[in-house]
Chains A and B, each alone.
Chain A
Amino acid sequence: NAGVTQTPKFQVLKTGQSMTLQCAQDMNHEYMSWYRQDPGMGLRLIHYSVGAGITDQGEVPNGYNVSRSTTEDFPLRLLSAAPSQTSVYFCASSRTSGDGDTGELFFGEGSRLTVL
Chain B
Amino acid sequence: KNQVEQSPQSLIILEGKNCTLQCNYTVSPFSNLRWYKQDTGRGPVSLTIMTFSENTKSNGRYTATLDADTKQSSLHITASQLSDSASYICVVSAGNTDKLIFGTGTRLQVFP
- Please tell me the number of chain B residues within 8 Å of chain A, measured between CB atoms: 24
Q: Given the interface contacts A42-B102, A42-B103, A42-B105, does A99 sit within 8 Å of B94 by beta carbon? A: yes
| Alpha-carbon distance between A7 and B26 when the two chains are bound, in angstroms | 35
Interface residues of B in 76-112 (CB under 8 A from A): 89, 93-95, 98-105
Report B-chain residues with C-beta under 8 Å of the C-beta of A41. Answer: 104
Chain-B contact segment, one of A64-72, A79-87, A103-111: A103-111
Q: Which of B44, B99, B105 has the most CB of A within 10 A?
A: B44
In the bound assembly, the distance between CA atoms of A106 and B42 in angstroms comes to: 12
* B31 contacts the other chain (CB 8 A): yes
When distances are taken between beta carbons in the complex, the residues of chain B under 8 Å from A107 are 43-45
Q: Evaluate contact between A99 and B4: CB separation under 8 angstroms.
A: no
A51 within 8 A of B: no
Report A-chain residues with C-beta under 8 Å of the C-beta of B43: 4, 90, 92, 107-110
Query: Which chain A residues in 73-116 approach chain B with CB under 8 Å?
Result: 90, 92, 97-99, 101-110
Tell me, in angstroms, the Cα distance from A107 to B43 when the chains sit together.
6
Taking CB atoms and an 8 Å cut-off, the chain A residues in 33-77 that contact chain B are 40-45
Question: How far in angstroms is the closest Cβ of chain A from B20?
Answer: 20
* Residues of chain A contacted by B42 (CB below 8 angstroms): 109-110
By the criterion CB–CB under 8 Å, are A98 and B44 in contact?
Answer: no
Q: Give complex CA distance A103, B95 in Å.
A: 12
Of B51, B100, B104, the contact of A40 (CB 8 Å cutoff): B104
Closest to A105 in B: B46
Which of chain A's residues has its CB closest to B4's CB?
A42
Whether the pair B101, A42 counts as a contact (CB closer than 8 A) is yes
Which residues of chain A have C-beta atoms less than 8 A from B13's C-beta? none
* Extra A-B contacts (5), CB below 8 Å, given A40-B104, A108-B43: A42-B4, A45-B100, A99-B94, A99-B95, A101-B51
